[in-house]
Chain A
């Protein structure tokens, strides 16, 4: 069975590493350490189904990155992670449908796995 491709963007390498270990068993995980690198990964792998991004990152924050991504690839499902709780900006993005959900850090891999499964089963 071919694994689904997902992308995780976070500026913390440990997070990227751990994500890959846990979810790499089920999915084909790509990682990027900032928005620009993330956009490039999607260009090279247009069959990525799900993108998960941290909110606070240098260069572009999570929302800016996902907004840019969705103007070209509106079929990709996006999730946001944040350590700060919900802000009005994030609520607005959820209402718009830009992101499906926002999960707060520290997050559980099982929870993310469940969310991804839900999207892929649709």
Chain B
């Protein structure tokens, strides 16, 4: 008989109760267990810590081993009849297979259910994380947009501030000499009273002098309106005079080729807001219209009252805006113009100013036929 290395000497001396293969198996299981226990000896030795595959193997081996060891003996004790015994022995194998299958089924199912639970929880957690990321992203995007707007506002307001200082300075400097001319005109009229009644030419000369001074004074007044840095939104704003002021300021850009058509409502009520900022609104929109018209064209300005609001429409016969560009025109820094000509800030600022007046700004446009800007301002 070969010596089994796993059996103690006493074991060898004893007559084996079971076939030697079974003993091998038991020793092997014991060894695995021992190895394992050695590994986990610091921890509480508990079945819970065993890996699933170990558990299943151990169970399978134990059940199989015990069955092989004891099933015949138990049958022998219970049944004496030889024919019944052999019949039972054929079913014995089936019985074993079914019972182990059922036990293993529940065992594996329990284990898998745990895993499925875990997976589901993981998935939920992941979804939750994704949601958080999405929310954060939206927040970030709006912050960035806000920053961009603020930046554009700062750029624009700095430009406006320096422009304001300049125009205010220039306006005053021009006003003084204008005042001399106006004073001289009055003086001339008094001194030349007698000649004036007789001389038609002199009359004309003086009249034209007066017209010139008035016109210059009008421009300076418009500049003053545009550049004043009032921050309050409670001023009375006469839309028609604001529009006219803007047209005076833009007159030099019209080149005589762009026709301005006014369709003003009679007795348009004033609205409450910021006069200087409303000047900026119309300057921006009108400048765009002028720039959109290549050579010759028309800009039609109409005003109306509808349901307690003022509707101002500015329609040009310019190049129009493409469908793709139309949703972007209020974005800060969106421009289709050459650098130097466009900053892309005009309409972004305009939109903000209209918003501050609780108004509305809408653009409709058709490539080739032109653009229509609609501004609605509440009367009170």
A interface with B by C-beta (< 8 Å): 12, 14-15, 18-19, 21-22, 25, 56, 83-85, 104-110
Contact = CB atoms under 8 A, between A and B. Distances in A.
Contact of A22 (B178, B179, B190): B190
Given A18-B184, A21-B190, A106-B182, 17 more contacts: A15-B176, A18-B183, A18-B186, A21-B183, A22-B187, A25-B190, A56-B172, A84-B171, A85-B221, A104-B221, A105-B175, A106-B178, A106-B179, A106-B181, A106-B217, A107-B182, A109-B183
A60 to B, nearest CB: 18
A110 B210 CA distance: 13
A83 B175 contact: yes
A18 B176 CA distance: 13
A22 B225 CA distance: 30
A21 B190 CA distance: 9
B280 interface: no
Contacts of B182: 106-109
Interface in B181-223: 181-184, 186-187, 190-191, 213, 217, 221
B283 to A, nearest CB: 18
A105 B187 contact: no
A85 B228 contact: yes
B66 to A, nearest CB: 103
A25 B225 CA distance: 36
A19 B187 CA distance: 8
B168 interface: yes
Interface residues of B, number: 22
Q: Which of A15, A18, A104, A110 has the most CB of B within 10 A?
A: A18
A29 to B, nearest CB: 12
B225 to A, nearest CB: 7
Contacts of A109: 182-183, 186-187, 190
B180 interface: yes
A12 B181 CA distance: 13
B224 A105 contact: no
Contacts of B180: 12, 14-15, 18
Contacts of A104: 221
Q: Which of A14, A85, A105, A106 has the most CB of B within 10 A?
A: A106
Contacts of B179: 12, 15, 83, 105-107
Contacts of A22: 183, 186-187, 190
Nearest to B181: A106
The 6 closest A-B pairs by CB, nearest first: A18-B183, A109-B186, A83-B175, A106-B182, A106-B179, A106-B178
A95 B45 CA distance: 95
A35 B217 CA distance: 27
B186 A83 contact: no
A12 B175 CA distance: 12
B172 A83 contact: yes
24 contacts: A12-B176, A14-B183, A15-B176, A15-B183, A18-B184, A18-B186, A22-B183, A22-B186, A25-B190, A83-B171, A84-B172, A84-B224, A85-B225, A105-B175, A105-B176, A106-B178, A107-B182, A108-B182, A108-B186, A109-B182, A109-B183, A109-B186, A109-B187, A110-B186
Contact of A18 (B175, B187, B224): B187
B191 A21 contact: yes
Contacts of B184: 18
Contacts of A15: 176, 179-180, 183
Nearest to A10: B179
Interface string B150-184: 00000000000000000010011001101111111
Contacts of B171: 83-84
Nearest to A25: B190
A53 to B, nearest CB: 14
Contact of A105 (B168, B178, B186): B178
A34 B171 CA distance: 22
Contacts of B224: 84-85
Nearest to B275: A85
Contacts of B183: 14-15, 18-19, 21-22, 106, 109
Contacts of B178: 105-106
